[in-house]
C-alpha cells in the first residue's frame, strides 16, 4: 500500500473494495485508518453488491485473457497482463459526478495521459544488447536478442522484456517490435486453450 500511494503521488480519501480481509482487516486496515482513508467494501459473500468494482474487474480479466489468447501465451503471463490492463484502463474516458469527461489518470495526476506510451502488449521484440555481464560482445556477434514485451519499466522510460530462453528480464529503450509474429509459437511455449477461449489475431 505504501508503494502504491508513493507511485500515485498522493493519499486517496476513499477506497472501493470487495470483502477482502487482507485489505479491510489486520495491519492493512490499521495502516489505512492511520491515514484516515475510508474503505467502502461489499458485504461478505455478496461481491455482486459492489457492482462498480466487479464490473471493472470483469473488464480487466476479459482484456487480459484476450491479450494472452492473441499471443498464444500460457497462464504464467497472467500477472503481467492484468498489471498492464490496469494501466490501460486508467486511460479510458469516464464522466465524473459533475458531468465533466476525463480519465482516471488525469484525475489522479492532474495531467492528460500521454498516448505515445501505449504499445501492443506481449509483442515479440528485438532488443539491442551490448554484452553479457562484464564481457562486451564482438563486432561479429549478434547485437540483439528476441524477447516478449511484458510492460513498462517501473524504473525508467523504457519497456520491460522477458526472455523465455534463459528466464531473464531486461529493460531497454532500444528495441523494435515485431507485431506480426505469434509470441508463444516463436518461443515454443505451450498454449492453454482451455484457459483462454478465443484469439484476436
Residue 198 has pLDDT above 60, yes or no: no
C-alpha dist (Å) from residue 84 to 63, 76, 150: 10, 15, 8
Phi, then psi, of 175 in degrees rounded to 5: -155, 165
Residue the block writes with cell 520491460? 160
Residue 46 has pLDDT above 70, yes or no: no
> Mind listing the pLDDT tens digit for each residue in 63-81?
998 888 888 888 889 999 9
How crowded is residue 79: how many other Cβ atoms within 10 Å of its Cβ?
12
Instruction: Report the length, in residues, of the chain.
Output: 201
> Mind listing the pLDDT tens digit for each residue in 82-117?
999 999 998 988 887 788 899 988 888 888 888 888
Question: Is the pTM higher than 0.75?
Answer: no
The pLDDT of residue 165 is 86
> Mind listing the pLDDT tens digit for each residue in 119-129?
889 999 989 87
> Mind listing the pLDDT tens digit for each residue in 175-187?
998 877 777 878 8
The pLDDT of residue 94 is 85
Spacing of C-alpha 13 from chain mean position: 24
Please work out, in degrees rounded to the nearest 5, the angle formed at the alpha carbon of residue 40 by the alpha carbons of 34 and 45. Answer: 120
d(CA 101, CA 94): 6
Q: What is the bridge-based pairing of β-strands 38-41 and 14-17?
A: parallel
Q: What is the mean pLDDT of the chain?
A: 81
d(CA 79, CA 65): 11
The pLDDT of residue 150 is 93
d(CA 113, CA 91): 7
Across the range 39-54, mean pLDDT stands at 66
d(CA 182, CA 180): 7
Percent of the chain at pLDDT > 90 equals 14
The pLDDT of residue 12 is 87
The pLDDT of residue 50 is 59
Across the range 26-36, mean pLDDT stands at 89
The pLDDT of residue 45 is 59
Amino acid at each position: 500500500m505504501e508503494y502504491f500511494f508513493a507511485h500515485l503521488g498522493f493519499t486517496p480519501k476513499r477506497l472501493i473494495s470487495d470483502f477482502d480481509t487482507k485489505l479491510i482487516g489486520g495491519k492493512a486496515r490499521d495502516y489505512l485508518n492511520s491515514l484516515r482513508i475510508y474503505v467502502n467494501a461489499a458485504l461478505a459473500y455478496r461481491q455482486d453488491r459492489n457492482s462498480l468494482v466487479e464490473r471493472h474487474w470483469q473488464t480487466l480479466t476479459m482484456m487480459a485473457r484476450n491479450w494472452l489468447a492473441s499471443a498464444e501465451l500460457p497462464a504464467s503471463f497472467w500477472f503481467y497482463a492484468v498489471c498492464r490492463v490496469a494501466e490501460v484502463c486508467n486511460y479510458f474516458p469516464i464522466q465524473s459526478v459533475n458531468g465533466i469527461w476525463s480519465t482516471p489518470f488525469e484525475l489522479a495526476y492532474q495531467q492528460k495521459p500521454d498516448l505515445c506510451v501505449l504499445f501492443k502488449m506481449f509483442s515479440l521484440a528485438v532488443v539491442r544488447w551490448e554484452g553479457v555481464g562484464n564481457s562486451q560482445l564482438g563486432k561479429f556477434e549478434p547485437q540483439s536478442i528476441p524477447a516478449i514485451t511484458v510492460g513498462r519499466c517501473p524504473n525508467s522510460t523504457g519497456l520491460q522484456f522477458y526472455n523465455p530462453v534463459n528466464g531473464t528480464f531486461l529493460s531497454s529503450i532500444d528495441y523494435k517490435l515485431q507485431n506480426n509474429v505469434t509470441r508463444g509459437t516463436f518461443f515454443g511455449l505451450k498454449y492453454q486453450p482451455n484457459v483462454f477461449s478465443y484469439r484476436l489475431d
